[in-house]
Structure 1
Amino acid sequence: MVHGIRTSATMWRAQVEHLSARGIPAVAVDLPGHGTRMGETFTLEGAFATIDDAVRRAAEAGPVLLVGHSMGGLVSTAYMGQDARPPVDAFIAASCTAIPRGLALATYRALAGGFDRLPGRGSAIAEWVLDRTLPLETREDFGAGGYAYDAQDTALRSLSVLDLLAALRRIDVPTWFVNGQYDQLRVNEKLFVSLVPQAELIVVPRTSHLVTAMRPRVFNAVLDLALATMDAAPRRSPTDPVDSGSTAGT
């Protein structure tokens, strides 16, 4: 599971607990410059390497479900759409159906920079919003790993080089795009779904960009759907590089 910008692996605590209760191994990573790696510099190369390492370790045990949110979803989409297909059996991309280029990206960077110049880097406003939108069960999880303010603009700027349209066309596993009804990144959701043959779109009513934390039970149900789809899929042949006889992992 790959977190969004500024936050960290702790945003996935509700999902990790849900999967653990089902006996399913799950790993939430910290990207460079975030969480336990706050002192590092964010680079796309480092982000891809982090995802690839986690995926390949999981693939040694069985089928793999990759899950990404926001920036983590965009980077994971690019990772999934490489020329060399990664050992991933299903993919969930949450709150990330927008092309991070041009005026939209410039506007987002400008807004983020404006918040950065406020007292406390705008944290009081952010905390006020989170207090009023997230349930108590996930409220502390979202920021428990700290906020990567220093990595924010570097990470946003780096996203502009991703060729997501080409990547989407190469994704050939069951895929779910999950958006909140009021998510600002829904703008290209129909395009994203149209480019991935096995894709479905799930829009969660009365929910913002922070769909994993705002509606954790709904998002956990999407995880269950993906895992059930993986369990029902034909097993790989013995010549394939990943043994799929074990329990699916995330």
Structure 2
Amino acid sequence: MKANAPGLPVVFVHGMRVSGTMWQPVIDTLGTRHPIAAPDLPGHGSRRGEPFTLAGAVAAVTDAIDALGGRALVVGLSLGGYVAVETAGSHPDRVLGLVAMGCTATPRGLLGAVYRGAARAAARYPQEANRLSAFGFRRTLPGPQAHAMISGGLTCGAMPDVARAVSAMDPLAALAAYPGPVWLVNGERDHFRRDERRFLRACRDGRLIVRPRCGHISGLADTEALARQVRDAAAVVTVGRAGATSIPTHHTASTEGPR
């Protein structure tokens, strides 16, 4: 956590089976302007062994927000994106803005069944699944980003609890309940973008950004682009708080590539 900085507080929420360390390259790129937290969710990282629940995950995020002063921009990827969406919908007073990445698929139907089946298989052989996950991260990401994904420990044994919790949630309702600005960010090749237009329509103040040639986690390779996305979102929130009594409802779509 970085404190005593003048910028907008930011809370990063990690994905399934990894930990808050996954965000360290982005945090390092952002520098010290923003107070930052990247908590571990139940069942992950320093909290391995705890049962994962959606309520517990939201509590971890709100505790991190409170530690930064009570209001923050929340940024999440994959599981972290779903948790960030749920946090925004249930605690809109604490979430100044929401950047939800790789989480615009309704977690039901065939995708949900595949997701739960893969989770059960990973939990049956957790050590092997952890090794395969580490191998996959090293093949997909540059060295520093892969190290960040792995360094906090991998916990594939938590995956069934995660799959059940995410499958039971209603992210569209959570987005509809949140009045603040939302950035839905997907890789062009991400299988979790299939319902992105429905998610965008559910937002009161939403934007959709599709990053060309990126997959579900390969977008983490471009740390500068992710840091720029966070800075841009923080700037919009800061201007909105300073110059408007209310944020107008609108929906936009765009694409972003390397600059």
TM-score, length-normalised on structure 1? 0.85
Deviations 1:33-74 (A, max 9, x none): 1000112111222111111111223234xx510111111111
What percentage of residue pairs aligned between the two structures are identical?
35
Within-5 A mapping of 1:204-223:
204-211=211-218, 213-223=220-230
1-structure distance, mates of 2:82, 2:15: 9
CA separation of 1:164 and 1:119: change in aligned 2, threshold 3 A: closer
- Counterpart residue number, 2:238: 231
Residue 79 (1) aligns with residue 87 (2): yes
Q: Which protein has greater RCO, CA pairs closer than 8 Å, 6+ apart?
A: 1
Q: Give the C-alpha shift of residue 22 in structure 1.
A: 4.2
Which runs of 5 or more residues in structure 2 are unaligned? Answer: 1-11, 245-259
Amino acid across the alignment from 2:80: G
Deviations 1:173-207 (A, max 9, x none): 11111111111101111111111122111111121
1:50 is aligned, of 60, 82, 107, to 60
Within-5 A mapping of 1:24-103:
24-60=34-70, 64-82=72-90, 85-103=92-110
SS where residue 55 of structure 2 aligns? Answer: helix
- Counterpart residue number, 1:153: 160
- Counterpart residue number, 2:21: 10
1-structure distance, mates of 2:59, 2:130: 30
RMSD of aligned alpha carbons:
2.1
Of 47-56 and 24-33, the range deviating more from structure 2: 47-56
1-structure distance, mates of 2:33, 2:126: 44
Q: Give the C-alpha shift of residue 132 in structure 1.
A: 2.4
- Counterpart residue number, 2:249: none
Moved over 6 A (4+): none
Which runs of 5 or more residues in structure 1 are unaligned? Answer: 238-250
Contact persistence 2:101–2:185 (CA under 8 A): yes
Q: Give the C-alpha shift of residue 124 in structure 1.
A: 4.4
1:200 is aligned, of 200, 203, 207, to 207
Q: Give the C-alpha shift of residue 128 in structure 1.
A: 3.4
Q: Give the C-alpha shift of residue 23 in structure 1.
A: 2.1
